């Protein structure tokens, strides 16, 4: 009878220990996210920048009312988690992503959220009349949606290793597209990484919330 009162047939001692592990994990995830809040939105495929990093394997959501991008490239790539990552699941520690590289970006009403064991780390910026700005921004996404996308001088089907619009070289032989300029309204992305040479976040606000973006 004692075990039947705990979800999944666990003993009270095991349930309490598992709860402490979840709390520690959420705290560990939250601290680095706060420390790198200035490096916020979506990100980098292997080889896209000099300093590569292993992704955590935890997806995060980014939304913006408007993305204005000067110098745009997009192509497929594989991101890798650290060896033995508990988030690998049945993926083998790799995630197929769409890389969006932007030379100069402005984002209006930016929101980013990541789920941490039942709560969300929630970040907003650029919602008081001055948009978020970034240079050499790269985002690694598994999903990208928008109400409308307008491209100037777009080239579709090029080899990603030959691209020049955003200053990023993709993998050799990989299909991609690039454009001089793109505007996307009601942007929503599911991302695994983000990097930028410079990220400016006016009216930055970070908190824990019961809801994501």
Over residues 100-143, the pLDDT tens digits come to 999 999 999 999 999 998 899 999 999 999 999 999 999 999 99
pLDDT of residue 10: 55
Mean pLDDT of all residues in 16-23: 46
C-alpha 47/C-alpha 44 separation (Å) is 8
Cβ-contact 101, 137 below 8 angstroms: yes
Query: Smallest Cα–Cα separation from 97: which of 163, 137, 43, 162?
Result: 43
User: Given a cut of 90, is residue 33 above it in pLDDT?
Assistant: no
The predicted model scores a pTM of 0.76
- Per-residue pLDDT of 144-188, as tens digits, reads 999 999 999 999 999 999 999 999 999 999 999 999 999 999 999
Higher pLDDT, 51 or 111: 111
* More confident: 177 or 37: 177
CA-based nearest residue to 100, from 47, 149, 42, 151? 42
Integer CA distances (angstroms), 164 to 74, 79, 158, 172, 185, in order: 11, 22, 11, 14, 25
Q: What is the pLDDT of residue 53?
A: 78
pLDDT for 206 equals 97
Distance CA 75, CA 173 (A): 10
| DSSP-derived 3-state class of residue 3 | helix
Task: Give the model's confidence band at 20: pLDDT under 50 very low, under 70 low, under 90 confident, else very high.
Answer: very low
Q: What is the pLDDT of residues 55-103, one digit of tens each?
A: 999 999 999 999 999 999 999 999 999 999 999 999 999 999 999 999 9
Q: Which of 113, 112, 102 is nearest to 181 (CA)?
A: 102
């Amino acid at each position: 009878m004692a075990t039947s009162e705990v979800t999944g047939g666990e003993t009270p001692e095991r349930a309490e220990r598992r709860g402490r592990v979840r709390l520690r994990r959420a705290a560990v995830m939250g601290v680095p996210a706060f420390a790198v809040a200035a490096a916020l939105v979506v990100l980098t495929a292997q080889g896209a920048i000099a300093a590569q990093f292993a992704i955590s394997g935890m997806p995060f959501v980014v939304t913006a009312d408007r993305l204005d991008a000067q110098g745009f490239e997009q192509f497929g790539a594989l991101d890798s988690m650290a060896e033995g990552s508990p988030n690998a699941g049945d993926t083998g520690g790799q995630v197929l992503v769409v890389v969006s590289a932007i030379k100069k970006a402005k984002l209006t009403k930016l929101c980013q959220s990541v789920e941490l064991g039942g709560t969300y780390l929630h970040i907003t910026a650029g919602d008081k009349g001055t948009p978020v700005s970034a240079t050499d921004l790269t985002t690694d996404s598994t999903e990208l949606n928008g109400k409308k996308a307008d491209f100037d001088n777009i080239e579709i089907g090029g080899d990603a290793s030959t691209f020049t619009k955003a200053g990023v070289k993709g993998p050799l032989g990989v299909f991609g597209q690039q454009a001089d300029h793109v505007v996307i309204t009601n942007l929503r992305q599911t991302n695994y990484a983000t990097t930028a040479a410079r990220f400016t976040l006016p009216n930055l606000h970070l908190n824990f919330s019961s809801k994501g973006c």
